[in-house]
Structure 1
Amino acid sequence: MSNIQSVTYQNLGWESAADIYLPPDFNQATKYPAIVSTHPIGSCKDQTSGNVYAAALAKAGFVVLAFDASFQGASGGTPRFIEDPSIRVSDIRFAIDYLVTLPYVDPDRIGAIGVCGGGAYTIHAAMTDHRIKALASITGVNFGRLIREAFSQFDPVGAMQAMGKQRTAEAQGAARHVIDYLPPSVEEAKQAGLTDIDVLEATDYYKTPRGQQPNGATSGLFSFNSAAMGWDAFLHAEVLLTQPLMVVIGDKPGGFGAYRDGWEIYGRAASQNKQIFVAEGWSHYDLYDQPEPVALALAQVVPFFREHL
């Protein structure tokens, strides 16, 4: 039996595509703890959530499911490239629904991990689905905050007005306006005067062979991005987020805001057992795939899940 199984399962009105990463000595007669791994915004299951974190956690003895978001990657749903936080969180619940049907998964030992936007979606999912017994956020970013700030040029009301006009045009037959969140190359980003570490390093990850995957589109449907404007990943964390929480961030802050978001949720979470680990000397995108900072993160995350699952 291969250690990676590709599966599909029912979501709302479409199917989700996922890869299940199995431990090296997998035995179908054993009940395993399982973890749902959620990818960043504009990413896919074949990138950091799958080939880095899911693979490593499976080697450590967990069954790990890395899925593609609805409307993205190999998952179904139209129109394509919707980034709706409520649906991204719902995707995690459907992933758990699938895991609990597997005979080799212990339904009482389910955890969740996410990277970048997926980290904050994981936090929000854990607040409203306590089947998640422990969770880890790797350089998590609150997409609601990000779209109200940098992604809207700090003019969220103006951005929403533009999104409304575009959605009306599309409803009346205009072509969908899909934006690329990133420049085509690091060189073009620099030529355009972009200097932020997160923008440059994201481009290096997503637009080069380092991290590039066919489904890692870094794209969003502009007219539907208004769904994120009123959303906050951390809303009610002081009351509802009670499970053990591990937050991992780098200490090189960038424009996407993982450093501040990490400290914010660490402070706000009601969890009695909460930890924050700062990878000194490393950035947001280093924690996606660079061996040394990833090893630092896993040295925290693996014992954390072993203890709490």
Structure 2
Amino acid sequence: METVSIRNPGMYWDIAANIHFPPDFDAAKRYPAMVSNHPIGSCKEQTSGNVYGAALAEAGFVVIVPDASFQGGSGGEPRWTEDPEQRVKDYRDVIDYVQSLPYVDPDRIGILGICGGGGYSIKAAIIDKRIKALVSITGVNFGRLMREGFSNFDPVGALEGMAAQRTAENAGADAQINIFLPASVDAGKAAGLTDIDVLEATDYYRNRCPAAGSGTRMLVSHAAPAMAWDAFAFAETLLTQPMMVVFGDKPGGFGAYRDGMEIYGRAASKNKELVVVEGWSHYDLYDQPEPVRLALEKLVPFLKTHLGGVTAANRAQAAE
């Protein structure tokens, strides 16, 4: 694995990313590549990297796993900003970088995202046709979640609060950080939390896979753009790439089951597959061996079909 810093024209900070290489990697050859994107509040060292990134590399892909701008090892201020448009721009900037790598076939790049990263990856595929295949793992439309559960179903009231907080910070007040999760599962239960997604997220981030770059938090004064954002807008006409949507059949408050069914129905893709992993939940698909195995059994052959395998470095020579 190699850690790189990516800066493209128009950016004022670097994106930190890990590159996972296939076994017996040969830089003289050309590989299909995947961009693997982490959930909201996560980082490149967690599920997008240590589970799906590692597995896709083992399957023969070059996999690049970025940290979101303002988070993890990436630059950008203010910290803990969660801006959907910036996140999609990050992915497109990462693709610019991947296409420049001599050992990557620039015409065979796919994208995968988990949770909010799944929704962001869908939006990236809608607008960027360099992406030749799309996989959403328990993907969530973050704009929909912000307008509903994350605003207590009062999006206008939440926007008014964000405006007031931004005004206060401009006058010198301390920043307000929304911590997504309780300190522990027991603390969550003691506070009356019962939703499976909240409690299992707490177990994942606090116990199963804690990481220094994982913030599980959001700067309130800069959260307003997410309220008016929609990961699925124009999917009926513009989302045309081969697509696989994976989620568990145990629904939770973050809405991956609902969002997965919606985007599968709406996408214009002629080649689209729905994978419902029976008996498993949103956060089981982050790292639990059996549901991850079931997901990989479907998505690896899907990606190999649509992105192919390793070729000779000279594409003209490989075609002969």
Aligned to 1:216: 214
1:42-62, CA deviations, whole angstroms, 9 ceiling, x for partnerless residues? 000000000000000000000
2:151 and 2:252 map into 1 onto residues whose CA distance is 16
Given residue 239 of structure 1, which amino acid in structure 2 is its aligned partner? T
Matched, 1:7 2:4: yes
2:131 and 2:232 map into 1 onto residues whose CA distance is 16
Q: Once the 2 structures are TM-superposed, how far is the Cα of residue 252 of structure 1 from its aligned partner?
A: 0.2
Unmatched 5+ residue regions in structure 2? Answer: 308-320
SS of alignment partner, residue 223 of structure 2: helix
Q: Once the 2 structures are TM-superposed, how far is the Cα of residue 13 of structure 1 from its aligned partner?
A: 1.3
Q: Once the 2 structures are TM-superposed, how far is the Cα of residue 178 of structure 1 from its aligned partner?
A: 1.2
1:16 and 1:110 map into 2 onto residues whose CA distance is 19
1:72 and 1:118 map into 2 onto residues whose CA distance is 13
Aligned length: 305
1:76 and 1:147 map into 2 onto residues whose CA distance is 24
Aligned to 1:194: 193
SS of alignment partner, residue 31 of structure 1: strand
Matches of residues 107-122 of structure 1 in structure 2 within 5 Å? 107-122=106-121
Aligned to 1:150: 149
1:104-163, CA deviations, whole angstroms, 9 ceiling, x for partnerless residues? 000000000000000010000001100000010000000000000000000000000000
Aligned to 1:82: 81
SS of alignment partner, residue 141 of structure 1: coil
Aligned to 1:298: 296
Aligned to 1:32: 31
SS of alignment partner, residue 212 of structure 1: coil
2:292 and 2:198 map into 1 onto residues whose CA distance is 20
SS of alignment partner, residue 207 of structure 1: helix
2:102 and 2:86 map into 1 onto residues whose CA distance is 27
1:172 and 1:97 map into 2 onto residues whose CA distance is 39
SS of alignment partner, residue 19 of structure 1: strand
1:79 and 1:175 map into 2 onto residues whose CA distance is 12
Q: Give every structure 1 segment of 4 or more consecutive aligned residues whose post-TM-superposition deviation is greater than 4 Å.
A: none
Matched, 1:263 2:264: no
Q: Once the 2 structures are TM-superposed, how far is the Cα of residue 17 of structure 1 from its aligned partner?
A: 0.2
TM, length-normalised to structure 2:
0.95
* Aligned partner of 2:243 among 239, 242, 245: 245
1:278 and 1:174 map into 2 onto residues whose CA distance is 46
Q: Once the 2 structures are TM-superposed, how far is the Cα of residue 25 of structure 1 from its aligned partner?
A: 1.1
TM, length-normalised to structure 1:
0.98
Q: Once the 2 structures are TM-superposed, how far is the Cα of residue 174 of structure 1 from its aligned partner?
A: 1.2
Matches of residues 93-132 of structure 1 in structure 2 within 5 Å? 93-132=92-131
SS of alignment partner, residue 82 of structure 1: coil
SS of alignment partner, residue 112 of structure 1: strand
Aligned to 1:73: 72
